[in-house]
């Protein structure tokens, strides 16, 4: 009868909810803890030294610790309104009591600090510096890396293509002062201008050594003229000069 009366009370559920909330707030594992930095420490975007540095927490500064990893080596904190991760060994418990001033890795399990695993937030992407741009040093004109040969270089003793010793002729070359061989023609083929055998000469042809009519030797000579430029004598007697 008492149980039915208690559940029928109009504020019974409200009282039960308020009691549960007060119990949860009083539990240290669900509440953020206060800590102080024992030395100047970097505030990073993630739990590791490979994350970008967001700020520097000075020694003695107060921070709020929300959670840590399983070994309490990195803790998610809030410093001056900025969230990030700090190495847990540089954080000391700042609540007055038995554990005041002790490092969080030693008392984190006793305090019941919340733990984060693989699904932790990263407050800025991982910083990967770009590799420097390679710029070759200034080289003098014509410089080449060691072991590289200039164009056209040959090892000692190697001759260029087509080289012959002095006095050696290329294949097919005739020795000097040697006449050219006659042009070979197929059997029965005559050279240009040759007459077939048995064919008479044309009317204008003359035997060898016969000169044509009106032929004059070089120098403008006339037929029957005397050598030395003298006049020809008449054919009827001696000289035709005047008698004295």
Helices H / strands E in the chain, number of each: 3, 7
Domain count along the chain: 1
Q: Show the DSSP H helices in the chain as ranges.
A: 2-7, 12-26, 104-111
63 within domain boundaries: yes
173 within domain boundaries: no
Question: Of the candidates 115, 90, 69, which has an alpha carbon nearest to the alpha carbon of residue 79?
Answer: 90
163 within domain boundaries: no
221 within domain boundaries: no
82 within domain boundaries: yes
How far is Cα 94 from Cα 63, in angstroms, rounded to an integer?
9
| pLDDT tens for each residue of 179-201 | 777 777 787 777 776 777 776 66
Q: What is the length of the chain?
A: 244
37 within domain boundaries: yes
3-state secondary structure of 119: coil
| pLDDT tens for each residue of 106-163 | 998 888 889 998 888 998 866 566 677 766 677 777 777 777 777 777 778 777 777 8
How far is Cα 225 from Cα 159, in angstroms, rounded to an integer?
75
46 within domain boundaries: yes
Domain containing 98 equals 33-110
Kindly report the CATH number assigned to the domain that includes residue 76: 2.30.30.40
83 within domain boundaries: yes
Alpha carbons within 13 angstroms on the beta-carbon side of residue 98 total: 4
| Cα 235–Cα 239–Cα 240 angle in degrees, nearest 5 | 90
pTM: 0.42
């Amino acid at each position: 009868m008492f149980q039915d009366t208690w559940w029928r009370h109009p504020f019974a559920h409200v009282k039960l909810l308020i009691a549960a909330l007060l119990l949860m707030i009083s539990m240290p594992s669900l509440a953020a803890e206060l800590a102080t930095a024992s030395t100047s420490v970097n505030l990073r975007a993630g739990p590791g030294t490979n994350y970008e540095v967001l700020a520097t927490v000075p020694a003695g500064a107060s921070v709020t610790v929300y959670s840590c990893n399983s070994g309490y080596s990195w803790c998610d904190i809030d410093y001056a309104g900025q969230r990030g991760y700090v190495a847990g060994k540089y954080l000391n418990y700042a609540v007055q009591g038995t554990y005041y001033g002790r490092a969080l890795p030693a008392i984190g399990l006793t305090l019941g600090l919340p733990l984060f695993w693989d699904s932790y937030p990263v407050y800025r992407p991982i910083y990967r510096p770009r590799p420097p741009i390679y710029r070759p040093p200034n080289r003098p004109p014509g410089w080449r890396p060691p072991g590289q040969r200039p164009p056209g270089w040959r090892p000692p003793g190697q001759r260029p293509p087509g080289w012959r010793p002095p006095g050696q002729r290329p294949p097919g070359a005739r020795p000097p002062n040697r006449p050219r061989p006659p042009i070979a023609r197929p059997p029965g083929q005559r050279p240009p201008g040759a007459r077939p055998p048995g064919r008479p000469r044309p009317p204008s042809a003359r035997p060898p050594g016969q000169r044509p009519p009106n032929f004059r030797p070089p120098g403008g000579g006339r037929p029957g003229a005397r050598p030395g430029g003298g006049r020809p004598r008449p054919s009827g007697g001696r000289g035709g000069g005047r008698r004295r």
